Structure 1
Amino acid sequence: MATNAVDKAASGPHAIDFHHPYTPYDVQEQFMKTVYDVLERGDGQVGILESPTGTGKSLSLICAALTWLRSHKISNLETSVDEAVKAYQDEPDWVVAQMLKRKRDDVIQQWKDREARLERIRVKERSMEARGTKRRRVHEPGARASASSDQLEAEFLLDDRDSGDGEQVGEVSSFSKETRNLMEKLGMGPSKSRDEEDETVDEPVKIYYTSRTHSQLSQFVSELRRPNFPPSMPASLQDEADKLEVEGVKHVPLSSRQRLCINPAVSRLGSLAAINDKCADLQQSKSSSKCQFVPNAENLGPTHQFRDNALATLPDIEDLFDLGRKLSICPYYASRTAIPGAEVITLPYPLLLQKTAREALGIKLEGNVVIIDEAHNIMDAVSNVYAAEISLRDLKRGRQMLGVYVKKFGKRLKGDNRVMVAQVARVIDGLSEWLNGASNSKGQQGIVDPNVLLQTKGLDQINLYKLIQYIQESKLAYKIEGYAAHIEEQNDKASQPMSSTPVLHNLLSFLVTLTNLSSEGRIFYHRTSDNTAEVDIRLSYLLLSPTYAFSSIASSARAVILAGGTMSPFEDYTAHLFPDLASQKITTLSCGHVIPASNLCVRTLAMSKPGLDFEFSFQKRSDNAMIRELGIAILNMCSVVPDGMVVFFPSYGYLDEVVTVWSEVTQTATARQESIWARLQSRKALFRETKGGSSDEVLAHYTESILGDPTKPGSKGNGKGALLLSVVGGKMSEGINFSDRLGRCVIVVGLPYPNIKSPDWKARIEYIESTTLERLTAANTGMAKVEAAATAKQAARDFYENACMRAVNQSIGRAIRHRGDYAAIVLADRRFGTERIRGKLPGWIQGGLVSSSEKSGLGQLMGTLGGFFRGKKEAMC
C-alpha cells in the first residue's frame, strides 16, 4: 500500500521539490513522497512510517509536511478561481478572461480585507494597551509589607460554596472553565458582540508535531531552522514589486506550567499537579495575591510582543521561558496567543494525547495534521497518560494532612465544603481499610474488582463524579497539601519546596479511573517493599487498550502520521489504534537505511557447537552449560570486533544470573581454570548496567575506555576497546547512540518476552482475546466459533510477541546512526532463525541478514565477522 502511495506521488506531471536543504537520499525521497501523499489525500488518512535512525527522518518530515502545507494554502486560493472558470467554460474567450480578472481581483481583495481586519485588531489592542498603561501608573504597587501568618493561612481556606448543587454564586466568570464552556454552548453565557464576531479571523490548517521528550522536540526545532520554503500566496497574486521567494515558518512550542512558569512562588512547588492548582488559585484570589505575570488588559503590550517574537524566531521551550522572563509575561498563557497564526505547533505527548489537556490549551485538531514522532512507544504513552496509582502509605499521609487541615479550618467550613471534605476523608478511610485487609490476606499481586473496592465503608454511596468535580474546582488537593507544607516549613524553620509526591492529587487521579468503563481498564494491587524492608501495598490502574483514548485524535484530524526509527512490526498500530479504519485509509512504509549494504553484517547465532542450541527461553535459559557457552562465544567475538561491543540481555535478573555463572572459577582434572568474567576483562574493559544504578556514569566510563578522556587532549582510550552488558528495555536500549566506535557490534541474547503470568499481562491478553472475538462476531463473517476463538487467541499472541520484538528492534537500532557508520549485529537465539520472528525485524535488518546463518555455529560466525571487520580496516587504509 505504501508503494502505491509513493508511485502516485512520483507519477505527477512534475517531480515535487521538497525544499530539502541537502541532496536527499533515495530513501528520504521515498519517505517524503509518502508523507506528502497521505496529507494530500486527507479525509482521515493514517500513515505508519518507519525510517531508521540516521536517515534524516525529522528533516524529511519537516520538508514533506511544510511543502504540502504551503502548496495546500496556495491551492485553496487558486481553487476558487478555477471553479469560476469552469462555470464559464462555454462562454466566449473574452467573457472568460473578463471573469477571470474579476475573480483574481476578488481573491486579492479578500487577502486585503483579511489584513485590514487583522490591522483593526492590532489598533484595538494598541488602544487597550494604552489604557492598561494609564491604569498601571495610577495603581502602581509600592513596597509591600510581609504577609502576616493569618494572610498566608487564608490562602489555603476553601472559598464559600452554596450547599446543594456545588456551584458558586455570582457572575458567569465565577464558574469553572468547563461550566462556562457548557453555558456558552447552551446560550446561557455572555454572547459575543457584533464587533467581536467581525474581527474573528479564520485559522489556516496547522501541523501539530509531538514527540516523547522535550530534548527531542528541541532537536526538531533545530532541524526546522534548516530548510527554506516558498510563500503560501500564489506568485500570480503577489505584486511584482513585493514578490517573495521565502516565507519564514511560523512555529510555537507548547508545554506545561512546570516548564514555563516564571513565578517563583509557583514554580518552586514539587509537582505538576500542585503547580497547576496553585496557578489557578492565584488567578482567583484577592488582587494583592494575584500572579502579576498572567496576561490581562493591563499588560497587553508585553503579551503581543511575546506573540510576535514567538512567531518570528522559531523558538524552543527554553527560548519561550527566557522571553517570558525578559518581558515579565507568563510564557504558558502568552504562548496561546501565537496559536492562531502558527503553522507548526510542537508539544510533548501528554498535551496531545489527553483530551482535557488539549481543551485547556485551546488545541483544535479538526481539519489539521497530527505528526507523532518516535511513535514506536505511542501505545505505552497513551497508557501512561491515563495511568494512576495510590499506595497505603500515601493514603495514611493524606489522612494525616487532612486531619491537620480540618483542625485549623474545620469550624470555618460550611455547606458543600464541609460535606465534601468529609467525603474525601471517607474515601481515604475506605481505600485504606481495603488495602489493610489485602496486605494481610492477599498474595503479592492481583486484579481488583472496582465494585468490591467501593463497597468498603459504603463508598459506592458517594457520587464520585460530583466529588471529583468538587476537588478539581475547589483546588482542595492543593490547599490541603499546601497548608501541610506551610506548617512543615514553619516547624523546620527553613523554606523548603513542597513534597514532590502529591498524595491527594494522586488520589484524585485514581478516583477518576474508577469512573472509567470497566471494559477499558483494570485495577491491580501490588505488594512492595523499599530499602527499609517496610512493606507497602498499592493500587494501580492500567488502560488495557489505547483505542478509545486515541480515537478522538484519529477521528478529528485531517491526517495522522506515526513515524519512528523502529516501527516494526506494524500490525499492532492498525489493530489497536485504528481497528475500525478502512484498510485503504492506512499507508505503511518501511524504508531502507542510507548506509551501503557492505556496512552492515547481521547473523543469527543458533548454536555454539553441534548439539547445544542457544534458546534463552524462560524455561531453558538457566542452563549453566549454555550460559558458559554464551560467554565463550562472546569472548571469541571480542578477539575480532574492534572498539565497542554492546550485549543486550532479556532482563536485569537474567543478567545477574549470567554474571554469577561467568564469575565462577572452574576446576578441570589437570588445572584450575580462570573464570569467563576474568577472561573477558583481559580482552576488553568490562562494564554492566545495573537496575537503579547510574547509566550516565557507566556510559561515561565505557566511552572513555574506547575514545579516551574528552578533558585530556590527545587521549585515545585503552587500545583494546570495551564490552558493555545491558538490558533490553533498560536505560541503554533507547535514546542512547552507540555510533561509530562505540557500537561496532551489538549482540541480542534471547527474546525478551514480558512475564505472561503477571496480572497486567494476563489482563491484556484476556482483553485482546475477548474484544477480537466480539469484533469477529459483530462483523458476521460466517466464521465458525472454534475458528473465531482460535483467531482471537492468535491476535493476543501476536500482540504479546510484537511487544517483545519492538523492544528487540529498539536495541538493534542503537548501532547504525549515520551514513558512514558500520556495525555487526548478532542475534543469539535459535528462534531468531524462524520465519515468523525474522519477519518482525525492520526491513533494513532483514536485508542485511546473512542467509541460512541460523544453521551454522560459532566457527562460521567468527569467519564472517573477521572478514567483515578486516574489509573495513583495509578500506580505511
Structure 2
Amino acid sequence: MAEGTERSGPTSLDQVADGIQKIDFHHPYTPYDVQEQFMGTVYGVLEKGNSQVGILESPTGTGKSLSLICAAVTWLRNHKKASLEYSITDAAKNIKDEPDWIINQMLKSKREELVKTWQEREARLEQIRAKEKALEMRGIKRRKLDNSIKGSASDSLGEDEWLLDDRDDDRPESDGGLGYSRETRALMEKLGMGGIKAQDDANESGHQEIKIYYTSRTHSQLTQFISELRRPAFPPSIPDSLLSGDAASDPEAIKHLPLSSRQRLCINPAVSKLGSLSAINDRCSELQQPRSKSKCQFVPNAENLAQTHQFRDGALATLPDIEDLFELGKKLSVCPYYASRTAIAGAEIVTLPYPLLLQKTARDALGIKLEGNVVIIDEAHNIMDAVANVHAAEIGLGELKRGRQMLGVYVKRFGKKLKGENRIMVAQVARVVDGLSEWLEGALKQKADQGIVDSNALLRTKGIDQINLYKLIQYIQDSKLTYKIEGYATHVEEGAGSGTTHPVSSTPVLHTLLSFIVTLTNLSSEGRIFYHKTSGKDQNLDIKLSYLLLSPTHAFSSITSSAHAVILAGGTMSPFEDYTAHLFPNLPKSKVTTLSCGHVIPSSSLCVWTLTSNRPKSIEYEFSFQKRSDRSMIHELGLAILNVCGAVPDGVVVFFPSYGYLDEVVAAWSALDPQQPASIWDRLQGKKSVFRETKGGSSDETLKQYSEAILGDGDSGKSTPPVKLGVKAATTKGALLLSVVGGKMSEGINFSDRLGRCVIIVGLPYPNINSPDWKARIEYIESTTMSRLTAPVNDDASAQPALSRSEAVSLAKQASRDFYENACMRAVNQSIGRAIRHKGDYAAIVLVDRRFGNERIRWKLPGWIRGGVVEGSEKQGLGQLMGKMSGFFRGKGEV
C-alpha cells in the first residue's frame, strides 16, 4: 500500500524534518514506516506550535493511538528539557557585574534545586506505586463500581429543602452553570484547584507546565487510550546534564489524569442515585451552600486536606482511568470530582470527553486552561457534529405542559413565601413556558410536519422578548430553581411526607427548558430553530422545538486560537476540506498540515471493486432517492450479494443508505420469484445465516449472534445454530449482516478477521437535502461563502470586491455541494473502515453504485482504499468480480 501523502501549507515541515528523523520516539515495538511518518508529522506540528493545526488520517489497525502517545510525549519531554536548560541559561544572562565564581555558584544552586524538586516528586510517586504493587501481590484487587458507600451522608430533610433562598449578597457567584458555591470556590482556591478565579485575574499564583489535553468521543475510547499509555517508557523530563549515572537513562512515568462529570465520579449515594447529570450537578451544588442543612462530607475541606493530597499523588502515580479515580475517592473518602482538580497542575496528559473540552463554560469551571497547551482530538471525523451536539437543545410541547404543571404545584405550596426577585423570576419562567407552549400549539394545527422557526415570532409570543433572558438564565443557574421545582414535584407525586425523596428522572423537564432558553440568546446567524411533529409514547401527536448550530467555527475558534497546537486525528478523516473550511476558515494555510497515511497491510490483502452493473448493457446501479425503488435493480442487487456470499468465506457485511430502504429491499427479496423455486431471501439464507440491524434494536445482541454464527460458541468450537428470521436457517458456514450507513454497526464496531471478510456498500447515503435542517445548512454555507468572496480586498469600503457576484454565486453553490457530498463520503468511509483492523487482516470491499466510478467521488475515499481499487473494475461486471474475488481468497488459503 502507499505509505501516505502529506499536504501542508507554504511553510512546510522541511525545516524540522532532518531533526525529526533522528528522534527516538520510544515506541515499544519496531514501528512501521507509516507509523514513523505519522509520529514525525505530529512532532513537527507540535514543534512549530503557534496555534498550528494538524489533520491526520491513519487507518484503524495502524497503531494510531500509540503513535500519538509516542510522538506527543516525546515532544513534551524534549520541550520540558529545553525549557529548563533555557531557564538556567537565561538566569546566567541576568546576573551582571558579579565575579564568575558567584555566577557559577548561583547556577549550581539553581541546578541542584531543580533536580531536588524533581527527585522528591518522583520518589513520592514511586512510593505510592510500590505500595499499590504490594497490595496487588497480596491479592487485594480493585473493588468493583457499586455506587454505594458505608456511612453515607444523611438525606432526611424537610420540605424547606425545596424553598428558594432569599436573594441577597450571600448567594453564590456564577460559574457558567456548573454549580460551584462561593464557599466551595474559596476552598478550592486554597487547595490550589484551577479555574476558580476570575478570568481577568492577572496575578495567578503558581506555574502551570505545558500539558496535553486528549479527548475522544466515548468513555470506552478514552479507557482504551489509557491502556495504551501504559505501554511505552520515556526518559526523564529533566536535562541529562543535571542527572548523574543511570538516573539519566531511567524512565520517568507519565503523569496522567482523567476528567469526567459528577455523574461518573460522585461517591455520595444520596446524590449519585438521582441519575441525570443535571440533577446531580444541582444537588451537589445545593449540598455546598452555606445554608444547606446537610453538607456533603466528601467535598475537599480543611479536615480532609491530607486525603485530598493523597488523592492527588495517587492519581498522578498510577495512570488511572475513571473507575480507578472513583475507587481512589471511595478509599480515601474524598470527592474524586473535586479532588482531581488538585492534580491538573502536575499532570502531563489530561484525558476528557468531548463536551468538557468543546464547551468553554465547562473548561473554565473545571480549571482547563488551553493557553499554550497541546490539544489532541481523536476520532475527529465527527468533530463538527460533536460541536453541534454539545450546543444543541430540544423541548417538546408535552414537556412544556409537564413543566408548567410542576411550576403550578411548586407555587401553590411556596408562592406566599416567595419574595422580591424570586417572585419575579418564577413568574418570568412561567411566561416563557406559556409562550413556547402557545407557539407550538399553533404550529401543531399547521399541515406541515416540520419547518424552520422565525425566532423573532417565537419570542414575541406572550411577550418573551420583553424578558431579559440573560438575567433569567443567570438566576435559574444560581438559585438551582429547576432542581428545587422538580424535586418538590417528584416528592409530592411519590407521597413521601418526610421529604426524603429526590427527582430521579433521566430527562428533567426544566433542565431541558433551561438548555433551550440558552440557545435563544445565541446569534441568529449561528444557528436555526426548527419544529417537527412526533408521536409520543402514548401515540398522541406531539411537537418539538429543536436548535441546530449551523457553524462550528465560532465555538471551535477559542480552542485553535488558544492552544499551542491542535491535532485532529482519525482513522477516516477524508475528505479533509470540510475541517479547514468550517472549523478554522480564517487560519492561514501555512498553519495547517494534513497527512493521509497508508495502511500497514500489504497491497495483496485488499481488493476494492466498483460494481456498476451485473452484466454489460444490463441495468446500471444507481441508488439515488429517485431510482432506488426500481424492483429490477433491487433484484439484481440480491443476485449480486447472493453470488458474493457464495465466494466469500465467513462474514459478509452489507451497508444500506437508510433503515427505510433496508426494509424495502428485504420486503422485495422476500417476495416469491415466479421463475425461481425460492425467493432471493430464502436463497441468501441457504448460503449464510442472515442477520439485520433494526432501528432502535439492540446492536449488541445482533452482533453477538452474528459473531457466534461465524466463530462458534467459543467453548467446543462447534457452530452455534443461527437465529431464525422467520425463514429457514442457513446450511453453510458464515453469516451475512445487513446494516445501515450511519447506524450502530457503522462506527466503533470491529469486524476484524473472519467477522468481515467482505464489506459491501450499497449506494451513496446522501442526507435528505429537502429536510429543514439541511436546507438551513446549505443556505448558511452559501451565504457565508458569498460574504467572504465578495468582501473588499482591504478595509477600504470603496475597494473592488475580490470576485464578481456571478463568480461568487457559482463558488458558493459549489461549496455547499462539497459540504453535502463530504458528509455522505465521511459516513461511507466510516463503514468501509469496519473491516481491516490489523496488519494480518484481509478483506474485499465492493462499492455498488455507478457513481463510485466518478473520479471526484473516488478521490474522497481514504488513500489506502483508493490504492486498493482494481483498475477498470467499474467497466466490468459481476462475472469478473467473482473471478477476482475467488482468486483473492484462494491466495489467502481460503477454500
* TM-score > 0.5 by shorter chain: yes
**Which piece of structure 1 moves more, 797-806 or 236-245?**
236-245
| Matching residue's letter, 2:379 | E
| Partner of residue 650 from structure 2, selected from 638, 643, 651 | 643
Structure 1 residue 27: Cα displacement:
0.4
- Correspondence for 1:25: 32
In the alignment, does 2:343 pair up with 1:338? yes
Rounded Cα–Cα distance in structure 2 between residues aligned with 1:839 and 1:727:
23
Whether contact under 8 Å (2:176, 2:365) holds in the other structure is no
Render the CA deviation track for 1:490-542: whole Å, top value 9, x for unaligned: 26999786111110001000000000000000000000014532100000000
Deviations 1:366-421 (A, max 9, x none): 00000000000000000000000100000000011111111111111111001110
Q: What aligned pairs does 1:368-407 form with structure 2 within 5 A after superposition?
A: 368-407=373-412
Cα distance in 2 for residues equivalent to 1:782 and 1:287: 62
- Once the two structures are superposed, residues 191-211 of structure 1 have per-residue CA deviations (whole angstroms, 9 ceiling, x without a partner) of 999xx9999431210000000
Closer/same/farther in 2, CA of residues 497 and 147 from structure 1, 3 Å limit = closer
Q: Map 1:534-613; keep pairs closer than 5 Å.
A: 534-609=540-615, 610-613=617-620
Three-state SS of the structure 1 residue aligned to 2:743 is coil
- After superposition, the Cα gap between the structure-2 partners of 1:178 and 1:209, relative to the gap in structure 1 and judged at 3 Å, is closer
Give the drift of 1:734.
Answer: 0.3
Question: More deviation in 606-615 or 585-594?
Answer: 606-615
TM-score by length of 1: 0.90
Instruction: Determine the C-alpha separation between the residues in 2 that align with 1:183 and 1:219.
Output: 35
Partner of 2:734: 721
Letter in 1 for 2:556: F
Please name the residue that 2:882 is paired with: 862
Q: Check conservation: 2:666, 2:681, Cα contact below 8 A.
A: yes
CA shift in 2, pair 1:496/1:283, >3 Å: closer
**Contact residue 445 and residue 524 of structure 1 kept, 8 A:** yes
**Structure 1 residue 6: deviation in Å?**
6.1
Match among 300, 304, 309 for residue 299 of structure 1: 304
1:709 deviation in Å? 1.1
**CA deviation vs aligned residue, 1:139-186 (integer Å, no higher than 9, x gap):** xxx9999876xx42111110001xxxxxx324xx843346999999xx
User: Relative to 1, partners in 2 of residues 1:284 and 1:117: Cα closer, same or farther, differing over 3 Å?
Assistant: farther
Within the candidate set 37, 50, 59, 1:43 is matched to: 50
Structure 1 738/178 Cα, relative in aligned 2: closer, same or farther at 3 Å? Answer: closer
C-alpha contact 2:115 2:242 (8 A) present in aligned 1: no
Report the secondary structure of 1:533's partner residue: coil
Aligned to 2:174: 176
Amino acid at match of 2:446: S
Structure-to-structure mapping, 1:764-779, within 5 angstroms: 764-778=777-791
- Separation in 2, partners of 1:179, 1:689: 39
Give 1:656-675 correspondences, 5 Å limit: 656-668=663-675, 673-675=677-679
Greater mean alpha carbon deviation, residues 485-494 or residues 530-539: 485-494
CA contact (8 A) 1:81 1:100 kept: no
Counterpart CA distance in 2 for 1:241 and 1:857 is: 66
Query: How do 1:280-291 residues align onto structure 2 when only pairs under 5 Å count?
Result: 280-284=285-289, 286=291, 288-291=293-296
Distance of 2:174 and 2:712 partners within structure 1: 59
> Unaligned regions of 5+ residues in structure 1, if any?
123-141, 162-167
| Aligned AA (2:777) | R
SS in 2 for 1:608: coil
- Separation in structure 2 between the aligned mates of residue 87 and residue 220 of structure 1, nearest angstrom: 43
Distance 1:803 1:498 in 2: 38
d(CA) in 1 for partners of 2:825 and 2:564?
31
> Is 2:752 aligned against 1:732?
no
CA contact (8 A) 1:118 1:199 kept: no
Name 2:138's counterpart in structure 1.
none
CA contact (8 A) 2:261 2:337 kept: yes
SS in 1 for 2:825: helix
Question: What is the distance in 2 between the residues matched to 1:752 and 1:192?
Answer: 55
Paired residue secondary structure (1:613): coil
| Residue 823 of structure 1: aligned partner | 843
Per the TM alignment, residue 76 of structure 1 is displaced from its structure 2 partner at its CA by 1.1
Matching residue of 1:788: 808
- Cα gap change, 1:65 to 1:414, in 2 (>3 Å): same
Tell me if structure 1 keeps the 8 A contact 2:236–2:248.
no
Shift in alpha-carbon separation, 1:684–1:779, aligned structure 2, 3 A:
farther
CA distance in 1, matches of 2:821, 2:428: 45
Equivalence for 2:530: 524
Give the Cα separation in 2 of the matches to 1:104 and 1:7. 36
Bigger shift: residues 421-430 or 231-240:
231-240
In structure 1, how many angstroms separate the alpha carbons of the residues matched to 2:752 and 2:118? Answer: 50
Paired residue for 1:267? 272
Q: Deviations over 1:628-658 (max 9, x none)?
A: 0000011011111000000000000000110
Equivalent residue number for residue 137 of structure 1:
none
2:418 to 413, 421, 445: 413
- Aligned-partner residue type, residue 711 of structure 2: L
Corresponding residue to 1:502 among 498, 505, 508: 508
Among 701, 705, 709, which residue is 1:705 paired with? 709
Which amino acid letter does the alignment assign opposite residue 541 of structure 2? V
How far apart are the structure 2 equivalents of 1:239 and 1:38? Answer: 32
Task: Provide the residue aligned with 2:695 in structure 1.
Answer: 691
TM-score w.r.t. structure 2 length? 0.88
Structure 1 residue 837, shift from structure 2 partner: 0.1
Deviation of the 1:79 alpha carbon = 2.7
The 3 A distance-change label for structure 1 pair 698 and 581 is same
Change (3 A) 1:26 1:762: same
Q: Paired residue for 1:747?
A: 760
Match for residue 253 of structure 1 among 235, 250, 258: 258
Q: Which amino acid aligns with 1:395?
A: L
What secondary structure, in the 3-state scheme, does the structure 2 residue paired with 1:747 have? strand
Equivalent pair of 2:92/2:107 in contact (CA under 8 Å): no
CA distance in 2, matches of 1:859, 1:179: 63
Residues 486, 763 of structure 1: alpha-carbon distance in 2 compared, 3 angstrom cutoff: same
Instruction: Assess, with a 3 A threshold, how the Cα gap between structure 1 residues 99 and 348 changes in structure 2: closer, same or farther.
Output: same
Residue identity matched to 1:650: P
- Aligned residue number for residue 128 of structure 1: none
Amino acid at match of 1:539: L
* Paired AA for residue 750 in structure 2: N
Other structure's SS at 2:595 match? strand
The residue aligned with 2:318 is 313
Q: How far did 1:422 drift?
A: 0.8
Moved more, 854-863 or 233-242: 233-242
Counterpart pick for 1:654 among 635, 645, 661: 661
* Aligned amino acid, residue 807 of structure 1: A
- Report percent identity of matched pairs: 69
Task: Indicate if the aligned counterparts of 1:600 and 1:824 stay in contact, CA closer than 8 A.
Answer: yes
Pair 789,241 (structure 1): closer, same or farther in 2 beyond 3 Å: closer
- Per the alignment, residue 489 of structure 2 pairs with 484
Contact 1:31–1:591, Cα closer than 8 Å, also in 2? yes
CA RMSD across the alignment: 3.2
Residue 58 to residue 99, structure 1, CA distance change in 2 (3 Å) = farther
Determine the C-alpha separation between the residues in 2 that align with 1:190 and 1:369: 25
Alpha-carbon distance in 2 for matches of 1:636, 1:835? 27
2:680 is matched with 676
Matched with 1:132 is none
How far apart are 1:777 and its partner, in Å? 1.6
1:270 touches 1:501 (CA, 8 Å); kept in 2?
A: no
Superposed displacement of residue 471, structure 1: 0.4
Give the distance between the partners of 1:475 and 1:284, measured in 2 at CA: 11
How many residue pairs get matched?
Answer: 832
Judging by fraction of residues, say which structure has more helix.
Answer: 1
Q: Quick one: distance in 2 between partners of 1:714 and 1:100?
A: 79
Tell me, what secondary structure is at the counterpart of 1:283? Answer: coil
